[in-house]
Chain A
Amino acid sequence: MGNALLEIEGLKTQFHLFAGTVKALDGIDLTLKEREILGLVGESGGGKSVAAYSILRLIDPPGEIASGRVLFEGADLLEKSEAEMRRIRGKDISMIFQDPLTALNPLHTIHDQIDEMLRLHTSLGARERLEKILSLLREVGISNPEDRLRAYPHQFSGGMLQRVVIAIALAARPKLIIADEPTTALDVTVQAQILRLMEGVVKNHGAALILITHDLAVVSGLTERVAVMYCGRIVEEGPTDLVIHSPLHPYTKGLLNSIPRMGKKSGRLPQISGMVPNLLELPDGCAFAARCPDASEKCLRAAPPMRPAGPGRKTACHLHAGGEAER
């Protein structure tokens, strides 16, 4: 415990479009320890998915990882060859996608799709692989796995498919799992089951998890640390309960306030005014300044850097320039 598994330094990913360059990731720094569960939260366009794809080097043209370092167990993934990356994807770092129906191949059985992972990344023989597949399916809560091996994805419900996807992600015993909105496509009661399952298996396997979601509520139940993204930058990072109960950055505050709560009924929901700026025309200053209730002239001039703000916490806001967490 305690060793850094993943260190991202100044990662910039850009998309060169006809209309201009979109800075989807504009210099993010992030560290993940072994066995840590980290939440990456933000609205659409924040850059959370691009961050995940950049870690795995899955950015295709017109996109490009412009600069930065992605150190996985001390080695920079951005300097690896494509062949080396292919051995890392699925083996050391695996991914769970949002929509399980599109993540799986409709023409192959459940058995074959899990088996592929084991054939590529382990040296197990055929009989051992079958045993392993059955134990994986049992672990993700699929009862009578022997009867389900020959089934195709369309014969499963969404929740069951996501269990299969999780089994595939776990198959090669990866050290890091990246889950991109793993429960957004699922119903509430099934979402709860899948989140509990992910928490359990990730801990069992001793893997680290990056959970990408737009839903702060999902993060609060599952993660130890959370990073909030806005317009390609991390604007706040810290222990989940602290960030949720005493947010520092005005965007985090606004996001938390605008979530309808079940416990109390208030007349109007507090809302963040305006909308996410066009990523092609990001302002020079703080990207949130135009929507920020506390913005000053300084915010419009210069983008605030990430600064420490209390124990284990960081935020990128001029209002917290002193380093102390002022209210």
Chain B
Amino acid sequence: MTTDRLNLLEVKDLVQYFELPLSWVDKCLGKERRLVHAVNGVSFEIEPGEVFSLVGESGCGKSTIARTVVRLLAPRSGEIVFEGKEIGRLNDRELRPVRREIQMVFQNPYASLDPRQRVGEILMEPLLFHGIAESKEEAVERVSRLMDIIGLHRDQADRYPHQFSGGQRQRVGIARALATNPKLIVADEPVSALDVSIQAQILNLMMDLRREFHLSYLFISHNLAVVRHVTDRVGIMYLGFIVEQARCDDIFERPLHPYTQALLDAAPSVDKSRIQAPLSGDVPSPMILPPGCVFASRCPRREKLCDEERPTLKKTGLRQVACHFAEC
């Protein structure tokens, strides 16, 4: 990353953990509270106009990062710097102007739209709340423009979410994010609830909007093939760590970390004639992190060192990898 260029978003050593609630029986027995270590010191940057993706399996912490960046969660430690300003410790009032600039698109378009609000009302709410539209008339006009941009008919603003298909609802979700003219959109699995033919429509729309409005995306996905089509840079996550970070083409053409390699091999593809299963077992529990490399228990290249010492992130240019046996 060139340091003289101002990054839009910098996440530095982000740590996020959750306490599991104890039942009253456990409390009486004096058991200790258990922690789920969701994110364990993650750093990345996003430049203006860039698309950065976080990829990993469930429980790797990618959604937790997304929710922390939009400040639905406060970081336990570490910094979130947006346009040069630390936003990790701001309170709700101080966050208001920031929320305009960072918007979110959610995974499930059925759950993320209020079923009792008409689409027009859903889109108008951020406009009025943030004072973007000065009057009701201006807000109506802006809603119509938003409907045009996302490819829905203006008249459909009078309809309720249940009258739309999944793909159309996700368009509404994107329009709502777009309403405040944000600089960064955090999209958490925006197409994984959609049918294949609709996925392509939504991905194309998101990329058109990126060009038109010079948007940056933090794109969260478990699907490497989807990521390949939309992303400039990728971070591969495992158990709350970024184990490899690189430009998109490098990740796909020359993966360095054994986990990245395994993800690429395991992904089913119409171009492959056989399904490979490179890894055995499941992701271990994020409640007890191993002292060494977190991937060691499933790694085909595991050696003694891996169990004893956690590998540090090695950096060369735009590439980063955390493995004892990989060099950038």
Contacts and interface: CB of A to CB of B under 8 A. Distances in A.
Nearest to A194: B277
Interface in B226-267: 226, 228-229, 248-249, 252, 262-267
Interface string B260-286: 001111111111111111111011000
A216 B272 CA distance: 11
A269 B283 contact: no
Interface in A29-50: 43-44
B295 to A, nearest CB: 11
A192 B263 CA distance: 10
A220 interface: yes
B165 interface: yes
Nearest to B227: A260
A220 B273 contact: yes
Which 7 pairs, one residue from A and one from B, show the smallest C-beta to C-beta distance? A221-B275, A258-B200, A217-B268, A187-B57, A192-B266, A43-B195, A271-B200
Interface in B134-190: 165, 167-168
Given A187-B58, A188-B57, A265 B269 contact: no
Contacts of A276: 165, 195
Given A192-B275, A195-B275, A217-B268, A260 B225 contact: yes
Contacts of A293: none
A205 to B, nearest CB: 19
Given A192-B276, A196-B275, A220-B273, A275 B282 contact: no
Nearest to B259: A189
Contacts of B197: 43, 254-255, 258, 271-272
B36 interface: no
Given A216-B270, A275-B198, 7 more contacts: A188-B263, A215-B196, A217-B268, A220-B270, A258-B196, A267-B207, A275-B168
A294 to B, nearest CB: 16
Interface in B79-104: none
Contacts of B274: 221
B268 A260 contact: no
A19 B263 CA distance: 45
A241 interface: yes
A260 B199 CA distance: 9
27 contacts: A44-B195, A160-B282, A188-B57, A189-B263, A195-B268, A195-B275, A196-B275, A199-B275, A215-B268, A217-B267, A217-B272, A218-B268, A220-B270, A220-B272, A221-B268, A244-B270, A254-B197, A260-B199, A260-B200, A260-B228, A262-B225, A262-B228, A262-B252, A268-B207, A272-B197, A272-B200, A273-B201
Nearest to B56: A187
A185 to B, nearest CB: 10
B204 interface: yes
A258 B197 CA distance: 6
A188 B268 CA distance: 8
Interface in B193-219: 195-201, 203-204, 207
A169 B24 CA distance: 39
B204 A269 contact: yes
B224 interface: yes
Interface in A236-270: 241, 244, 254-256, 258-263, 265-270
Interface string B22-63: 000000000000000000000000000000000001100000
Contact of B273 (A241, A263, A265): A241
Interface of A: 43-44, 157, 159-160, 187-193, 195-196, 199, 214-218, 220-222, 241, 244, 254-256, 258-263, 265-273, 275-276
A218 B279 CA distance: 17
B319 interface: no
A172 B258 CA distance: 40
Nearest to B167: A275
Question: Which of B196, B223, B224, B263 counts the most A-chain CB atoms under 10 A from its CB?
Answer: B196
A87 B263 CA distance: 42
B273 A262 contact: no
Nearest to B225: A260
Contact of A189 (B207, B249, B270, B279): B279
B268 A259 contact: no
A189 B260 CA distance: 11
Contact of A261 (B167, B263, B266, B269): B269
A261 B225 contact: yes
A2 B314 CA distance: 57
A258 B199 contact: yes
Question: Which of A43, A258, A272 counts the most B-chain CB atoms under 10 A from its CB?
Answer: A258
B229 A271 contact: no
A254 B196 CA distance: 10
B222 interface: yes
Given A221-B274, A259-B225, A275-B167, A269 B203 contact: yes
Nearest to A41: B196
A217 B269 contact: yes
A138 to B, nearest CB: 15
Contact of B249 (A244, A265, A267): A265
